Structure 1
């Protein structure tokens, strides 16, 4: 079981599904997109694909290097555009490692959808390339609208300008036409990323705290798997010995070294949750994306436990390090 789970620990993505209405008409290189529920209308490149995300509108080029994201949420009381821009920048800095993020310090005032707006440039990387983007922030009635336009770094300044101008000049949001059933739309960026939920594995007296915003992807017997931006985590508990689990982990790392260029940076005995255990840290590369895998291996009675994290370098921030340490410190195994 452990070997099968290890195979699934690498970078995976999931697509949300929703029943968004896509009413499109093509005009030259662009097509109109209309989302009647949000009173939204905008021009997007004709060959971009609608990603049908559940929480925002997103279109992407076929190579994934350019995209448009439009997110409409309820405006918090007392929020100003300047405050919002600052919060957004801080979120980027909390989520993306500073070596993989460039922030233009200039915040410009402009107009979009007929109202005052703020705009700022960012550029981020996952290690395989840089993704420059132009972000817009504006209010419409009781809602705030965030627009993110990522363009090809190899595009000429004229090509990038044409894409940005076409989108900003065509975009409109009619709050009066919005579906009243939408009600209050919570901005998921406002979540407490350090809020934890206790997870227990029945019959094994095992518990661990996991960030509430991590997405659980598997809850099979004795196993819990989670995904988060730039990585994933797995918890496995069941009959076994520490020596057996360690041997299996080392075997998988060795077998996959040709594919992921693994280098074992740490391999040592540890004391954790009042027990003796073992820790293995291996660094690897998936395409151009570097990542680190950390395994905590424990044993108590007739059961063995493995808690493992895969974290891409581009999300390895101080906040992420603190979050992982908080998880490790929460491990409890009873009698």
Structure 2
């Protein structure tokens, strides 16, 4: 059986929360395993424990308890070997804004032990790979946000790592730059590199991840392929947007009486229900609401999404979790 590229078990990490306050538990027994050559998406809202997990796996922090190996090396006992086997792209750019793109890349290569000639050649290769050749001699501070993030990823690849960690790589990018970086990440995965990607964008996780681990309150609450997790949710999702949120109790009772209606969750003025068939459920929902003169703004039906998966395993939508965070 092949050794996983990343293998973490029962990770626990707490942080002081201030005077007379209980410690904040960022990780609460998180367990995850990533085969070689796979893009694993860690999906969760801010504060779920994703970045803490990455810091532990990249040797920037130590877990209070639990074990972890990356590229076969223990993150506590073999830190130097782990660091040489991985590339790490943090949330904030790690490049020197005053230096040029090629200067940043050559310096990174030299730090990893490459000769100046080898580091320069590798820098030229990466600038070309990320369509930055025309900008290699320009200071990084003149780059657009998307160009800076491409350079950050290139910096993580200088020494040809076995595992690449991308911590919220597209946060703050405009849609065009985000889509451009998505294409680059897809190319990386096609080359056989193992990638651990943290994200709070549902679309990003759906698009890029071969395997997905949904993280909530420091634990992995669901694992699988994006399509597989969605397929577990049979039927459709119906969302009812109420004019008066105070009518949600009445609406909940009415919907429970309809055939084919499953779990119902209320968030503000939005009521969501799992149904066997959206085509038959929507007319029935509209009918009972009209009979009781309950006004609604809209009733929509959709196939299962990752937001529905998150709702299923955590009891709240991703949007509500983000707002709470």
TM-score, length basis structure 2: 0.24
Q: Which has the higher contact order (CA 8 A, sep 6+)?
A: 2
Normalized per residue, the structure richer in helix is: 2
Output the TM-score relative to the length of structure 1: 0.23
